[in-house]
Chains A and B, each alone.
Chain A
Amino acid sequence: DIQMTQSPSTLSASVGDRVTITCRASQSISSWLAWYEQKPGKVPKLLIYKASSLESGVPSRFSGSGSGTEFTLTISSLQPDDFATYYCQQYNSYSLTFGQGTKLEIK
């Protein structure tokens, strides 16, 4: 199985900050990676697919990069609505895997 490890597990930041979340795969997954945002009590929302493709309707302050085993989700200027938990998910292999999540908190 491919394991996905996100870092950090928790991130404290302020409105306006630029933040980066990292997701590492235990083996190469090419660019087959998605990112999701989940707010408390809400359904996960797709932000990015194929490592860097922005889902329709997602603000351009969100961007994704990486290939192989290391990937990043960047929020260029944090907005109050962005404080949430973020998950990566690989879809390279027969079985799919989510990361353990990164909680983005207000500093």
Chain B
Amino acid sequence: QITLKESGPTLVKPTQTLTLTCTFSGFSLSTNDVGVGWIRQPPGKALEWLALIYWDDDKRYSPSLKSRLTITKDTSKNQVVLTMTNMDPVDTATYYCAHSHNYFDYWGQGTLVTVSS
């Protein structure tokens, strides 16, 4: 059974760096063709893909956010970490991590991050 869970702060101030952790079980990120991605959704708006890391440590980023994002994995801990720098109120959203074969078949419950002073 594959499960994922996001953790991190619920409130960050403008200009701060957001660090989110995805802790998963039921699969290994050392298995061929497996990845973990991050997707966000501002309140009432559409899904937006942010980043994806693969079993072989290949990393992909949304072009519009690439300069602000870093994705890493710790295979031994079954965790993937996303950092986003220079947070702004427009980054207020629910952030999801998801198991990926380039599409996303298992999702975490999501964590709402609010950016406000």
Contacts and interface: CB of A to CB of B under 8 A. Distances in A.
A99 B105 CA distance: 17
A46 B96 contact: no
A95 B63 contact: yes
Interface in B60-108: 60-63, 96, 101-105, 107-108
A55 B105 contact: yes
A87 interface: yes
Interface residues of B, number: 21
Contact of B103 (A46, A94, A95, A101): A46
Contact of B105 (A32, A46, A95, A101): A46
B61 to A, nearest CB: 7
B40 to A, nearest CB: 11
Contact of A46 (B49, B52, B60, B104): B104
B49 A98 contact: yes
Contacts of B105: 46, 49, 55
B116 interface: no
A100 interface: yes
28 contacts: A32-B102, A36-B47, A43-B107, A43-B108, A44-B39, A44-B47, A44-B104, A45-B107, A46-B103, A46-B105, A49-B101, A55-B105, A87-B47, A89-B49, A89-B103, A91-B102, A91-B103, A95-B49, A95-B60, A95-B61, A95-B63, A96-B37, A96-B49, A96-B52, A96-B60, A97-B49, A98-B47, A98-B49
